[in-house]
Structure 1
Amino acid sequence: MSHRPDHQVDNLVKRINRIEGQVGGIKKMIADEKPFDEVIIQLNSAKSAIQKISQILLEAHADHMFMDAAESGQTDKELESLRRAIHQYSKML
């Protein structure tokens, strides 16, 4: 993925696994009829974790885009790819 440790696939998979655990916990909270405010707190936590993964992926994409553009000289193609990624990321906010 990238040279930065937080961009490595195994670190991203660990983050996803934690989110799956969070979502499972939220599901159990709902089934156990826990107070809604407590469920919402956990939902916000999971949302933040997903946004962080999206941020990491966007950074990794930008890193790769610049490296690929420098090597290939195809800046238009790489910039368009980055624009699409930024557009999708902005929808999460």
Structure 2
Amino acid sequence: MEIQNCDRPRMTGSDRKSHHSEKIKKNLVTRLNRIEGQIRGIKGLIEKDAYCDDIITQISATQAALNSVAKILLEGHMKNCIAERIQEGDCEVVDELLITIQKLMKK
């Protein structure tokens, strides 16, 4: 991949779209629907005064599921969006990616 001159005008997040295949989108939506169910389950455990350790275990599982969604999105973002923008000469995207990774690592 040849990196061009990095003087491309910066686009805002609302100007850009992702390039996910229908298969990836379906996978992500399925995972998010499952996570939504897990959240409702956690709420139900709290409402039923379930044992704290059981609730924490469910929260941990939900966080792991969200991390899996983030990993899938990050991989696609790096392989498609980031690579494309670098090829177009937008080197600011590297700083954006670093900020995104820092946000993910805080969790």
Question: TM > 0.5 between the two?
Answer: yes
User: Which shows bigger deviation, 56-65 or 14-23?
Assistant: 56-65
Question: What secondary structure sits across from 2:100 in the alignment?
Answer: helix
Question: What secondary structure sits across from 2:61 in the alignment?
Answer: helix
List alignment gaps of at least 5 residues for structure 2: 1-18
Question: Could you tell me which amino acid in structure 1 is paired with residue 70 of structure 2?
Answer: S
Question: What secondary structure sits across from 2:50 in the alignment?
Answer: coil
Runs of 4+, deviation exceeding 2 Å = none
Counterpart position of 2:56: 40
CA distance in 1, matches of 2:32, 2:89: 34
CA contact (8 A) 1:58 1:89 kept: no
Question: Following TM superposition, by how much is the alpha carbon of 1:10 offset from its aligned partner in structure 2, in angstroms?
Answer: 1.8
List alignment gaps of at least 5 residues for structure 1: none
CA distance in 1, matches of 2:44, 2:20: 36
Counterpart position of 2:42: 26
Confirm or deny that 1:16 pairs with 2:11: no
**TM-score when scaled to structure 2?**
0.72
CA distance in 2, matches of 1:61, 1:49: 18
CA distance in 2, matches of 1:14, 1:32: 27
**TM-score when scaled to structure 1?**
0.81
Which structure shows the higher helix fraction?
1
Counterpart position of 1:81: 96
Aligned residues: 88
Bigger radius of gyration = 2
CA distance in 1, matches of 2:103, 2:74: 10
- Bigger relative contact order, structure 1 or 2 (CA pairs below 8 A, ≥6 apart): 2
CA distance in 2, matches of 1:44, 1:88: 18
